[in-house]
Amino acid sequence: MEVKIGVQHAPREIVLESGQTAEEVEQSVADALAGKAQLLSLTDDKGRKVLVPADRIAYVEIGEPTTRRVGFGAL
């Protein structure tokens, strides 16, 4: 699923494809914003970890789960 994270004072958002469910991502964000964690920590599909300071999070957009398309599309 695609996750977009807006960071304060940063010109671009962070975009990653995560294997986590929407509920897991939402819980991680809620924990970070509630002060239970100083960092928002998410892992992408390739195993890379993204860390964002909780006090710098502007917004988090959680997209729909991605599905792999098979075949060719006509233009």
- Residue extents of the structural domains in the chain: 2-62
Q: Across-strand partners of 18? A: 44
pLDDT greater than 80 at residue 75: no
Buried b (16+ CB within 10 A) or exposed e, 20-36: beeeebeebbeebeeee
The domain 2-62 having CATH identifier 2.30.30: the answer here is yes
Helices (H) and strands (E) in the chain, counts: 1, 5
pLDDT tens digits for range 24-73: 999 999 999 998 889 999 999 999 999 999 999 999 999 876 565 566 66
